[in-house]
Amino acid sequence: MKRSELLQHLAEEIQAIECSRPLLVAVDGRDAAGKTILAHELAEKLTGMGHDVIEASIDGFHNPREIRYRKGRDDPEGYYRDSFDLVSLKKHLLVPLKVGCMHYQTQVFDYRTDQVIDVPKKRAQSDSILVFDGVFTHRCELRCYWNYSVYLSVSEAESLRRGVERDPGDADEIKRKYQVRYLPGQRLYHTESEPMKHASIIVDNTDPDNPVILGESK
């Protein structure tokens, strides 16, 4: 199918969910699978259909470097377990939208400067839609929050190729980092959390212009 057809399908599936509170939508996948791009396009699609859309990313909820790398900068388990502050993610974004006062923050930490940031709180509408992208979003601690979730499937080889092409820095070092930290960390995640088993829809995103739906849960 064409990219536009996928976005239309996703938007229709999300719109069909009946809920008296904001809908929470996650876009998951391996590193460089295309999560951020698809999430933004989906947010634009839903906005164009008249919805109030909140965009957020797991990147706004990193742990400080001393926690992220306490097992070592190359450790795959550290990547999976220590990269993100799930407590803050739930406290400041997911819980307020799911069951709380609906005052939320989309970011609490800047991983580039390694500093806590104070983003002003906003209040969601009862019919708002959160479109949230990031790795590991089907961890058992998080998947209960999603009303709908997308898993973008690409091979390890494609994840590596895109990562080397996308990430700034020395290509050999980026390739090494993927091989020793990111890809093994994703294997741990898939073994423990089985994201493809829990996603609402699985999409092969090897060719982003011509994605393929591999499965849907009804």
Q: What is the DSSP string of the chain?
A: --HHHHHHHHHHHHHT---SS-EEEEEEESTTSSHHHHHHHHHHHHHHTT--EEEEEGGGGBPPHHHHTTT-TT-HHHHHHHSB-HHHHIIIIIHHHHTS-SEE-S-SEETTTTEE--PPPEE--TT-EEEEE-TTTTSTTTGGG-SEEEEEE--HHHHHHHHHHHS-S-HHHHHHHIIIIIHHHHHHHHHHH-HHHH-SEEEE-SSTTS-EEEEE--
Q: pLDDT grade, residue 203 (50/70/90)?
A: very high
Q: What is the mean pLDDT of residues 193-207?
A: 98
pLDDT tens-digit map of 152-178: 999 999 999 999 999 989 999 999 999
Predicted confidence at residue 46, as pLDDT, reads: 98
Per residue in 17-66, pLDDT (tens digit) is: 999 999 999 999 999 999 999 999 999 999 999 999 999 999 999 999 99
- On the question of pLDDT at 218 being above 70, the answer is no
Task: Tell me the pLDDT of the chain averaged across its residues.
Answer: 97
Q: Domains along the chain? A: 3-135+143-204 (3.40.50.300)
